[in-house]
Amino acid sequence: MASNAFQPIQGMSDLDSPDVYLWQYVEKTAREVFERYNFGEVRTPILEKSKVFLKSLGDTTDIVQKEMYSFEDRGGRNLTIRPEGTAGTIRYLGGLGEDGLNARVYYMGPMFRCERPQAGRKRQFHQIGVEATGPANALLDVEVIAMQEHLLSELGLPGARIVLNSRGTAADRKPVADGLRAALRPFEAELCEECQRRIDQNVLRVIDCKNENCQKIVDQLPEMREFMCAESRAYLDEVIARLTDLGVNVQYDRKLVRGLDYYCHTVWEIQHDALGAQNALAGGGRYEVTIGNKNIPGVGFALGVERLITAMEAAGIKAEQFVPKAGVWLVSLGEAALNTNLKLIQELRKAGIKCGMELETKSMKAQMRKANRAGAHYCVILGDDELAKGMAVLKNMEEGAQSDVALTDLVNELKK
């Protein structure tokens, strides 16, 4: 058991080989898919002024109330390590003026939430997200959801389920909240303690409360969309119809609310059964984010990379498939060969060949053992005799066959 001194902070992980190769595959595929839809990458700072999140996420949300890593820096500034990617991205886009109001960007990187760590819930986790700014347009929501589904199918992940609902417009917010509140009042005493508070503070969160009894009550309530205006209901129908046209399967879920205050119209989640209790692979929605004096509309999603990897592994997609091929190992018999190999390995690497060697003189046996451990496909064996002739022995490690090759031909020979 490693001593505590070598452990990362609870809820955070080191990532190494071979797992990291599956991550790289996911990231590379995401970049390729997003570029096809004309989304470009942005990299915003991980640390932001706290107000970037306080104002945009809404101060009754779990993230803002309980989960942000916030602190005052040495200059007395209130800062937060980003718990999600939308607020910072919109802050950046807002600063671009007109261009930022009609942009398509994606990001990937670590997010930080001070939650109680458990399976599928970490304090440092990673998201791949996109944001498309622009006024409410059902077709843009459709394009973003279709792109997300495209990414999952490109990654070869089966079994992902897209569930979708509407939060209506800003103008619907009050009638929806009032309507739900009125419908809930007769049951108030039966709700869990937290939901009794939520009725007045944040009634939408009663809808997705995990408590079984609260759920039974919610089942008897009218659907949120019944309190929305006709336009909002038509918007939702349009999104579902156009996605169906594209062959993207979505399920309407009357209980999906999503935690953040900035959502309006379409909200969705992608769920996967391989994930257990924390079954959300990704969340998304249309929003109006307030930063400074601007209110910026857009639509976006964030996919949890750890959970995506868990689902992929459960589907039999293994990191080992993506480990780079092992390449060549140089074996040096004696000091002179070691020095020659040092030059040779540089040449091979510059020619694009992956290779390794021992950097001190060791026995042939020890060096071959290392070559095997590295999984080398070829060994280049160099001793005083070979050096004198300007030759090396090239050994095919899988077949065992070996041949003499002139040192001057070696790069070309190995490139073949």
Residue 285, interface with ligand AMP (CB under 6 A)?
Answer: no
CB-CB contact of 175 with 293 (8 Å):
no
What are the phi and psi torsion angles at 264 (to 5°)? -150, 160
Give the one residue of 55, 82, 104, 113 binding ligand AMP; rule: CB under 6 A: 113
Residue 289, interface with ligand AMP (CB under 6 A)?
Answer: no
Give the one residue of 44, 56, 89, 127 binding ligand AMP; rule: CB under 6 A: 127
Per the rule left: phi > 0, alpha: psi between -120 and 50, beta: everything else, 387 is alpha
Q: Which residues contact 381 (CB under 8 A, 6 or more apart)?
A: 331, 333, 364, 392, 393, 394, 395, 402
DSSP 237-301: HHHHHHHHHTT--EEE-TT---S-TTEEEEEEEEEEGGGTTS-EEEEEEEEEEEETTEEEEEEEE
CB-CB contact of 286 with 235 (8 Å):
no
Applying CB under 6 A, the span of 48-56, 113-121, 218-226, 286-294 interacting with ligand AMP comes to: 113-121
Size of the site for ligand AMP (CB under 6 A): 15
CA atoms within 13 A on the CB side of 152: 27
Residue 298, interface with ligand AMP (CB under 6 A)?
Answer: no
Q: Which is nearer to ligand AMP, 128 or 338 (CB)?
A: 128
CB-CB contact of 268 with 145 (8 Å):
yes
For residue 3 the two structure tokens come to 């001593």
Give the one residue of 79, 280, 314, 374 binding ligand AMP; rule: CB under 6 A: 280
Q: Which is nearer to ligand AMP, 84 or 143 (CB)?
A: 84
Site track for ligand AMP across 305-334, x = CB under 6 A:
-xx---------------------------
Residue 125, interface with ligand AMP (CB under 6 A)?
Answer: yes
Q: Which residues contact 109 (CB under 8 A, 6 or more apart)?
A: 43, 46, 85, 126, 127
CB-CB contact of 307 with 272 (8 Å):
yes
Q: How far is the CB of 279 from ligand AMP (least distance, A)?
A: 9
Q: Which is nearer to ligand AMP, 91 or 307 (CB)?
A: 307
Q: How far is the CB of 283 from ligand AMP (least distance, A)?
A: 3
DSSP 38-81: T-EE----SEEEHHHHHHHH-TTSHIIIII-EEEE-TTS-EEEE
CA 142, CA 230: separation in Å to the nearest integer? 20
Q: Which is nearer to ligand AMP, 128 or 382 (CB)?
A: 128
Applying CB under 6 A, the span of 94-102, 139-147, 281-289, 392-400 interacting with ligand AMP comes to: 281-289
* Sites for ligand AMP among residues 74-93 (CB under 6 A): 84
Applying CB under 6 A, the span of 94-102, 239-247, 274-282, 399-407 interacting with ligand AMP comes to: 274-282
Q: How far is the CB of 259 from ligand AMP (least distance, A)?
A: 6
Q: Which is nearer to ligand AMP, 115 or 413 (CB)?
A: 115
- Cis amide linkage into residue 18, ω under 30° from 0: yes
Give the one residue of 31, 49, 51, 121 binding ligand AMP; rule: CB under 6 A: 121
Return the closest-CA partner of residue 89 out of 61, 131, 120: 131
Residue 142, interface with ligand AMP (CB under 6 A)?
Answer: no
Q: How far is the CB of 310 from ligand AMP (least distance, A)?
A: 10
Residue 161, interface with ligand AMP (CB under 6 A)?
Answer: no
Q: How far is the CB of 127 from ligand AMP (least distance, A)?
A: 5
Residues engaged in binding ligand AMP (CB under 6 A) = 84, 113, 115, 121-122, 125, 127, 280-283, 302, 304, 306-307
